[in-house]
């Protein structure tokens, strides 16, 4: 079994193509939504849930949680869980910190809010943070790098193994192009593509975070 997971959004122009591909190939996945975007696009979140996908918590405003107070961290988590529950009728049971940034305090708060922290062990690198950039006289801005669809495919297939959690991002032409071929090839190799909930059912281990960002 392998779990495909998608971070960020949802935005219609980015998430709808992903949902349509998953529907076409009858694959269930897990979506880590940003609370403020979920609230603005409630129909997309409802579609995710109605299609059998996991709707998970990815904070409310996508901050680096290690730079804000514990009280703010708790509010980021709780607001997003409230939004998801108001749309789907269910509170999220998995949380992924933006950028994979966390510390022991954050892990404790996540647990207190009734969720397990789920990172990944395969990063498809379809949207990879590089470093802050600073233009002369301007505030710092973030720099990102996108791999091609062929590079995404090669990376995921090379690392694919039972129990893997694959990190994608919800949007981008490269992700959309790579996904159908990946699904077909993973299935042909005998992998069953499942939600995090199904992957973790009956397991003695939850989706606990690793310090590895690979």
| pLDDT tens profile 23-75 | 999 999 999 999 999 999 999 999 999 999 999 999 999 999 999 999 999 99
Contact 7, 171 (CB under 8 A): no
pLDDT at 184 over 60: yes
82: containing domain: 2-200
Which pLDDT does position 129 carry in this prediction? 53
Whether residue 206 is contained in a domain is answered as no
38: Cα separation from own chain's centroid: 13
Please say if 169 is a catalytic residue.
yes
Whether residue 205 is contained in a domain is answered as no
In the set 7, 54, 126, 149, the catalytic residue is: 7
Q: How many domains does the chain have?
A: 1
pLDDT at 214 over 50: no
Distances (CA, A) of 97 to 23, 41, 131: 27, 21, 18
Whether residue 211 is contained in a domain is answered as no
In the set 53, 147, 153, 169, the catalytic residue is: 169
Whether residue 166 is contained in a domain is answered as yes
Whether residue 212 is contained in a domain is answered as no
CATH code for the domain of 166: 3.20.20.370
Whether residue 21 is contained in a domain is answered as yes
Whether residue 186 is contained in a domain is answered as yes
Please say if 7 is a catalytic residue.
yes
Which pLDDT does position 201 carry in this prediction? 85
The C-alpha atoms of residue 124 and residue 120 are separated, in whole angstroms, by 10
Whether residue 127 is contained in a domain is answered as yes
């Amino acid at each position: 079994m392998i779990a495909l997971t998608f971070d960020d959004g949802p935005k219609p122009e980015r998430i709808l193509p992903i949902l349509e591909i998953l529907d076409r190939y009858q694959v269930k996945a897990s979506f880590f939504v940003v609370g403020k975007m979920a609230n603005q696009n409630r129909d997309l979140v409802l579609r995710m849930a109605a299609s059998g996908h996991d709707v998970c918590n990815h904070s409310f405003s996508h901050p680096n949680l290690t730079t804000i107070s514990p009280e703010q961290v708790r509010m980021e988590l709780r607001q997003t869980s409230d939004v998801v529950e108001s749309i789907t009728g269910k509170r999220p049971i998995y949380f992924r910190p933006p950028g994979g940034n966390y510390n022991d305090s954050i892990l404790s708060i996540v647990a207190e809010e009734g969720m397990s922290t789920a990172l990944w062990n395969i990063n498809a690198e379809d949207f990879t943070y590089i470093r802050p950039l600073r233009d002369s006289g301007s505030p710092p801005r973030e720099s990102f790098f996108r791999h091609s669809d062929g590079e995404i495919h090669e990376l995921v297939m090379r690392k694919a193994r039972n129990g893997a959690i694959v990190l994608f991002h919800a949007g981008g032409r490269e992700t959309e192009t790579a996904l159908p071929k990946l699904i077909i090839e993973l299935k042909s190799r005998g992998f069953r593509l499942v939600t995090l909930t199904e992957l973790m059912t009956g397991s003695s281990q939850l989706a606990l975070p690793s310090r590895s960002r690979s």
